[in-house]
Amino acid sequence: MGELETGKQLRVRETPIPGFLVIDLPVHGDNRGWFKENWQREKQLALGLPDFGPVQNNISFNAQPGVTRGIHAEPWDKYISVASGRVFGAWVDLREGPSFGATFTIEIDASVAVFVPRGVGNAFQALEPDTAYTYLVNDHWSAEAQGEYTFLNLADPTAAIAWPIPLEQAELSDKDRAHPTLADVTPMPPRTTLVIGANGQLGRALRAQWAGRTDVEFAGRDRIDLARPETLEGIRWSSYGTIVNAAAYTAVDAAETDEGRRDAWAVNATAPARLAAIATAHGLTLVHVSSDYVFDGTSALHGEDEPLSPLGVYGQSKAAGDLAVEATRKHYVLRTSWVVGDGKNFVSIMAGLAERGIDPSVVSDQVGRLTFASELARGIDHLLASGAPHGTYNLSNDGDPVSWADIAQRVFARLGHEPSRVTPVSTEAYYAGKEGIAPRPKQSVLDLSRIRATGFAPLDQHEALDAHIDAIAEESRGS
């Protein structure tokens, strides 16, 4: 029997398998036995162990040396240690990607633990009698989940694991003997990203951004309607890794009515709170799109840490949604402004007026930047792909701030019409005599320094606007 190593310092070590970690555990012993902190969240997180949120603890008791189990890749993360005895552990990366087939082995006694990411094949061989192999997992076992396992043969020649006790002398199950070799293994795909609100402007932009990806699932209102909470039920959330909430109630003026107020709060506040609870329960990343309307527009430049100060029902419901989403640990709240994408929006409306010979009056005292849906989609992709720190980010196009009237005049000019056909007016003059109008922030310029610090460079709004107008003109000529 091997001698237990005591006196180690707590540390986390990386291995050739991405995300697979070895944890050295301090063990304190005397003539009575030994004691260790097997799982200590605060200390281990500080050293780089993922906060994987275990929900189930399992123990495998192995009566004799030579008992060998695996190689099983499971659809959850595991934290493995032994309570008594020793094991020879072997792991093979069975995930899609460049590390597929990477192998790592280590002997585990009470002073060693390992963190096994989802999709990494796990196996062990007991080296001592009465070995208790214990592991925490971050999802509950079910027969449905077992159908998502990926298996590899213990004797696979490519992995070529040097078992201390030869397999012909070991105790194996018939199922483990029958598993396929690496050449016949279908790699475990990554967890799926679910886009809610997939048919809106942002949803369509995300379809274009992630075209060809098989790990993204798009759900329109026919499947998930945030105004109807029951559509969130019955979904196997543990099969997802990320939720992108691209849905919102955006009828700013209608939100001031009795019916609109209820709908705005249901979609913009209550539903994000439910999504945040789901994300917390299943360890998911939640991406939520917010608005400049959470501010009252009295600041010339809005930073992410500015206190919330919404003026109307729409802004109030969006602010409530932000607070709800921020309660789940792995979140990205993206505050944006003046969104333009595929479909009806301010730019398309101005283009239509120009072509029909209508001369509009447009407000000139509301100042901000456009956010093209394609830019918002690109920013979401960047944050997720780069693993940027979770939190709240402003995200719009860059460039000198402008008014709505400035944008309208640029649309007219780009389409070959006289920009003076657009008459700049104040907000008060534009809405004079109209009822049920929601208050608008006068200043909507967002500080982009935080998202720039992650390596994302927002594109200039004026260049993006010109390209968008040209696309509208080309589509008009082709129709």
Q: For the segment 302-314, what is each residue's pLDDT rounded down to a tens digit?
A: 999 999 999 999 9
Distance CA 190, CA 419 (A): 51
Name the H helices within 357-423. 373-386, 404-414
**Nearest Cα to 250, choosing from 289, 195, 220?**
289
Q: What's the mean pLDDT in 372-380?
A: 97
Structure-token match 């798009």, residue found: 218
Q: Which of 79, 133, 135, 430 is catalytic?
A: 135
The CB density around residue 271, as the number of other CB atoms within 10 Å, is 27
Report the chain's mean pLDDT, rounded to a whole number: 94
Counting residues of the chain whose pLDDT is more than 70, the rounded percentage is 99
The answer on pLDDT for 206 being more than 60 is yes
**Nearest Cα to 87, choosing from 121, 112, 54, 56?**
112
The CB density around residue 333, as the number of other CB atoms within 10 Å, is 24
The answer on pLDDT for 1 being more than 90 is no
The answer on pLDDT for 86 being more than 60 is yes
Q: List the domain boundaries for the chain.
A: 11-184, 192-478
pLDDT of residue 167: 96
**At the top level of CATH, which class does the domain 11-184 belong to?**
mainly beta
Structure-token match 């010979």, residue found: 357
Contact by Cβ (8 Å): 415, 469: yes
Torsion angle in degrees (nearest 10) through CA of 350, 351, 352, 353: 50
pLDDT of residue 2: 60
pLDDT-based confidence at residue 474 (cuts at 50, 70, 90): confident
Contact by Cβ (8 Å): 462, 470: no
28 a catalytic residue = no
pLDDT of residue 467: 94
pLDDT of residue 402: 97
pLDDT digits (tens, 9 = 90+) for 37-72: 999 999 999 999 998 889 899 999 999 999 999 999
Residue 118 half-sphere exposure toward CB, CA atoms < 13 A: 21
Strand 192-196 relative to strand 402-403: parallel, antiparallel, unpaired?
Answer: unpaired
Q: Which of 72, 282, 288, 302 is catalytic?
A: 72
The token pair that represents 88 in the structure block: 């020879």
Q: What's the mean pLDDT in 321-341?
A: 96
Distance CA 429, CA 44 (A): 60
Q: What's the mean pLDDT in 140-163?
A: 89
Q: What's the mean pLDDT in 269-279?
A: 96
In the 3-class helix/strand/coil scheme, how is 212-255 assigned residue by residue? Answer: CCCCEEEECCCCCCCCCHHHHCCCCHHHEEEEEECCCCCCCCHH
The answer on pLDDT for 270 being more than 90 is yes
**Nearest Cα to 8, choosing from 111, 85, 87?**
111
Counting residues of the chain whose pLDDT is more than 90, the rounded percentage is 88
The answer on pLDDT for 147 being more than 80 is no
**Residue 401: partners with Cβ closer than 8 Å, 6 or more residues away:** 367, 368, 369, 445
pLDDT of residue 472: 87
Does the domain at 192-478 match CATH 3.40.980.10? Answer given as: no
pLDDT of residue 479: 59
Distance CA 267, CA 248 (A): 6
The token pair that represents 168 in the structure block: 């012909």
> Helices 346-356 and 461-478, interaxial angle, to 10°?
50
Q: What's the mean pLDDT in 452-464?
A: 97
CA distances from 67 to 112, 125, 163, 236, 414 (A): 20, 6, 11, 34, 75
Please give the backbone phi and psi of residue 204, each rounded to the nearest 5 degrees, phi first: -65, -35
pLDDT digits (tens, 9 = 90+) for 92-122: 999 999 999 999 999 999 999 999 999 999 9
| Burial profile 298-330: b = 16 or more Cβ within 10 angstroms, e = fewer | eeeebeeebeebbbbbbbbbbbbbbebbbebeb
The answer on pLDDT for 196 being more than 80 is yes
Distance CA 345, CA 338 (A): 9
pLDDT digits (tens, 9 = 90+) for 211-232: 999 999 999 999 999 999 999 9
**Residue 41: partners with Cβ closer than 8 Å, 6 or more residues away:** 51
pLDDT digits (tens, 9 = 90+) for 432-456: 988 889 999 999 999 999 999 999 9
302 a catalytic residue = no
pLDDT-based confidence at residue 27 (cuts at 50, 70, 90): very high
